[in-house]
Structure formats: C-alpha cells, structure tokens
C-alpha cells in the first residue's frame, strides 16, 4: 500500500514537471522547456515604478519585447519608487533561480551586497537606464543607457545659444526642479547645470528642490518656488517632462506665463525626455527646449540577452544616441565640447509619428 502511494506520488511529480512551463535552473546553462519543447529564457526584471510617462513607455517596451511568444518568461516587479522593494525583488529572483536579472536602479548606491548574491548564484545582471555605483564592476554584466550629463550639457548649450541670439547678457535666474536625488538621471542633469553656472558667471541658481520625477511633486515644488521668488525666475530647468507639466500647471494657476520672452516676464522652461506630451508642450510654446531621453529599452535588452544566450561577449557600457527639440527653428545646431548637435524643430507631423 505504502509502496503504491510512493509510486503514484513519483509519477505525479514526473507528469507535473513534464507539463510545467518553467523548470528553473541556475547558471544559465539549462533552459526551461514549455510543452511545445521550445526553450524559453526566464528573466526577472526589477522596474523602478511608474512615476512618469517615460517610465510607463519603458515598461511597455520591455513587456512587449520579452513576451511568451518571443520565448521569454518575464517576471516583472514594480518597486513603487522604493529601493528596498528592488532589493527584495532581486533576492526573490535569485531564490527562483531565474536565468537573468535585469535592473533599472532607482539610485546609484547601495547595490554591492545584493549584486554579490546574484553573482554567487551565477545569475548575470544587466543594468539599464540608470546606473549602479559599485566597488567591483564585475558584479554586473553590462550597462546600457543614456548619457545624462551630456543631456544636461545640451540643454545648457541651447540656453546659452538662445540668450546669445537675443543679445541677452544680463543676470539670468534659474530654478532647478531636480529628479529623484541620487538617481543617475538627476546626478547627470544637475551636474551639467552646476557646470554651466561655473562657465556662465551671470547665470544664478535661485531655487533648487527635488520633484521626484513626478507631476504632483513637480507642481508642489514649483508652487513653493513661485511663492518664494516667482517674480525673479527667468528659467525653469525641469529634470523631466512630468515635473515640467506640474510646473506649467501651477504657473498657469498663479498667473505666470511660460514662453521664450524672458525680457517681458515670461518663464522659459527647459525639460528632458521628449515624450509625446512633452513635445506637444514644445509645439504649444510652453516648453522651450526638450532634450530627448529614449525609453524604448525592450529591443535593446533583447539584443543583449540573445547575445549572452549565444555565448557572445557584450559591451560593458553602451550609450544610446538621443536628440533635442525646440519650438523655434533658428537655433539649428548647438555645440558641446566642440561637437555639433542638431536641434530639431517640433512640427505636428513629427508629433504624429512619435512612438511614446
């Protein structure tokens, strides 16, 4: 009797394993099999949250690329803008024995231990968009993302060209609405502005606070800046589109006008991301210049995973190319460190083709 039930139990286990979609194996050498015997790759992806249009577009892109039809099992985790949730998710991925971990880190610091755990478990970690700051860079396989510092420099170069074109050489007062403090996108964009203050002695920082990359916080921060020094502000440097939307909303409510004409009291708004809504605001004249940050990471990450699956070497660091957009056509090029960058004028046609 006892022998029969052990046999039945054993057969059941074999059957269940045979039908199950995923047989997780560490070290990436044996893949899970589905019923059609097609091998699939299991990926644990830790996403920061859904704080912005950029982030939502990025999530859609990775989900579409790592679909079941394409041969992937994607375990997606939304960390709700909390690093502790990302750490927890990564540890769960390790316990589940995923083939790869993909991480968009909310801030740069604090990853050494968890990445060491992944390394010890033999799971490659691919970092994208924002970066990790670790003592030992063998803790992750590679990183792909934007040059946030260069994005900031391009925004500042545009402002400098614009002021020159209008022969404005008086003191320029700038308010900086920063992204999530400690995030690569904030560090790079804020640092570029700090550099511009050193290079342009008549540019002055009159207010700086974090709006956490969200519309709601952008609005809140802009509101207190307007109360504190609204009549002085010439330029708002919003470190993403969502904070720019929030800032514009409260500016309108409090009777401030966005635009290019800073000598007649308009506030010139600079933004980053160039999402469809952001470019619409450029077309409407509310945002003067918008530096692109491309969120479509799905296909780029698929390329990396497929290369690793094929046993190929991947670049340790890859920067993606990005553009900048304005509502005016007469500044067609800007220079950063001796290199020219084209500024594209936003048109309704361009907007109609924008994917995100």
* Least Å from the CB of residue 241 to ligand GYE: 6
**Through-space distance between the first and last CA atoms of the chain, rounded to whole angstroms:** 64
* Least Å from the CB of residue 53 to ligand GYE: 7
Between CA 123 and CA 111 the distance in angstroms is 15
Q: Which is nearer to ligand GYE, 184 or 326 (CB)?
A: 184
Between CA 270 and CA 138 the distance in angstroms is 37
* Least Å from the CB of residue 171 to ligand GYE: 29
Structure tokens that stand for 233 in this block:
């502000």
* Least Å from the CB of residue 56 to ligand GYE: 9
* Least Å from the CB of residue 213 to ligand GYE: 4
Between CA 211 and CA 249 the distance in angstroms is 14
* Least Å from the CB of residue 13 to ligand GYE: 44
Q: Which of 213, 256, 297, 356 binds ligand GYE (CB under 6 A)?
A: 213
Q: Which is nearer to ligand GYE, 94 or 279 (CB)?
A: 279
Q: Going by C-beta distance under 8 Å and a sequence separation of 6 or more, which residues neighbour residue 45? A: 62, 66, 74, 75, 76, 77, 101, 102, 103
Q: Which is nearer to ligand GYE, 124 or 278 (CB)?
A: 278
* Least Å from the CB of residue 324 to ligand GYE: 14
Look-up of token digits 């479509």: 296
* Least Å from the CB of residue 55 to ligand GYE: 5
CA triple 301-304-310, angle to 5 deg? 140
Tell me the number of residues near ligand GYE by CB under 6 A. 13
Between CA 291 and CA 321 the distance in angstroms is 11
Residue 86 is a binding residue for ligand GYE (CB under 6 A):
no
Q: Which is nearer to ligand GYE, 40 or 210 (CB)?
A: 210
Sites for ligand GYE among residues 214-253 (CB under 6 A): 240, 242
Q: Which of 73, 99, 129, 286 binds ligand GYE (CB under 6 A)?
A: 129
Q: 326 with 286: CB under 8 angstroms?
A: no
Q: Which of 94, 123, 185, 236 binds ligand GYE (CB under 6 A)?
A: 185
Residue 239: name the closest of 258, 211, 267, 260 by CA: 211
- State the binding string over 19-58 for ligand GYE (x if CB under 6 A, else -): --------------------------------xx-xx---
Q: Going by C-beta distance under 8 Å and a sequence separation of 6 or more, which residues neighbour residue 31? A: 25, 39, 40, 41, 42, 99
Between CA 134 and CA 206 the distance in angstroms is 34
* Least Å from the CB of residue 58 to ligand GYE: 8
3-state DSSP assignment of residue 323:
coil
Please list the residues that pair with 143 across neighbouring strands.
127, 317
Look-up of token digits 């059941």: 12
Q: Which of 272, 297, 325, 356 binds ligand GYE (CB under 6 A)?
A: 272
Look-up of token digits 């502000």: 233
Q: Which is nearer to ligand GYE, 157 or 244 (CB)?
A: 244
Beta strands 39-47 and 32-33: pairing type? antiparallel
Residue 290 is a binding residue for ligand GYE (CB under 6 A):
no
**Interacting residues with ligand GYE (CB under 6 A):** 51-52, 54-55, 129-130, 185, 213, 240, 242, 272-273, 293
């Amino acid at each position: 009797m006892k022998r029969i039930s052990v046999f039945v139990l054993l057969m059941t286990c074999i059957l269940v394993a045979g039908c199950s979609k995923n047989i997780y194996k560490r070290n990436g050498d044996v893949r899970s099999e589905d019923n059609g015997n097609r091998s699939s790759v299991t990926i644990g992806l830790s996403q920061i949250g859904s704080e912005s249009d950029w982030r939502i577009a990025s999530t859609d892109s990775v989900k579409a690329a790592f679909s079941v039809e394409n041969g992937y099992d994607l375990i997606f985790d939304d960390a709700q803008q909390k690093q502790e949730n990302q750490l927890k998710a990564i540890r769960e991925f390790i316990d589940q024995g995923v083939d790869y971990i993909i991480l968009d880190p909310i801030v740069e610091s604090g990853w050494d231990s968890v990445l060491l755990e992944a390394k010890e478990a033999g799971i490659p970690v691919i970092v994208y968009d924002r970066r990790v700051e670790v003592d030992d860079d063998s803790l992750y396989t590679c990183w792909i993302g934007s040059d946030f510092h260069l994005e900031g420099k391009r925004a500042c170069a545009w402002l400098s060209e614009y002021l020159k074109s209008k022969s404005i050489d008086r003191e320029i007062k700038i308010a900086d609405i920063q992204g999530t403090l400690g995030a690569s996108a904030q560090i790079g964009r804020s640092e570029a502005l700090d550099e511009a203050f050193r290079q342009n002695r008549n540019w002055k920082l009159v207010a700086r606070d974090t709006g956490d990359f969200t519309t709601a916080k952008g609005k809140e921060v802009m509101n207190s800046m307007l109360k504190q020094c609204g009549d002085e502000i010439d330029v708002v440097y919003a470190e993403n589109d969502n904070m720019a939307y929030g800032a514009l909303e409260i500016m309108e409510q409090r009777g401030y006008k966005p635009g290019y004409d800073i000598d007649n009291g308009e506030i010139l708004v600079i933004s980053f991301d160039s999402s469809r809504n952001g470019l619409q605001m450029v077309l409407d004249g509310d945002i003067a210049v918008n530096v692109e940050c491309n969120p479509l990471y799905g296909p780029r990450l698929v390329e990396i995973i497929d290369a690793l699956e094929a046993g190929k070497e991947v670049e340790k660091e890859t920067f993606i190319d990005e553009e900048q957009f304005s509502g005016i056509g007469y500044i067609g090029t800007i220079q950063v460190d001796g290199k020219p960058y084209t500024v594209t004028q936003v048109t309704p046609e361009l907007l109609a083709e924008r994917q995100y």
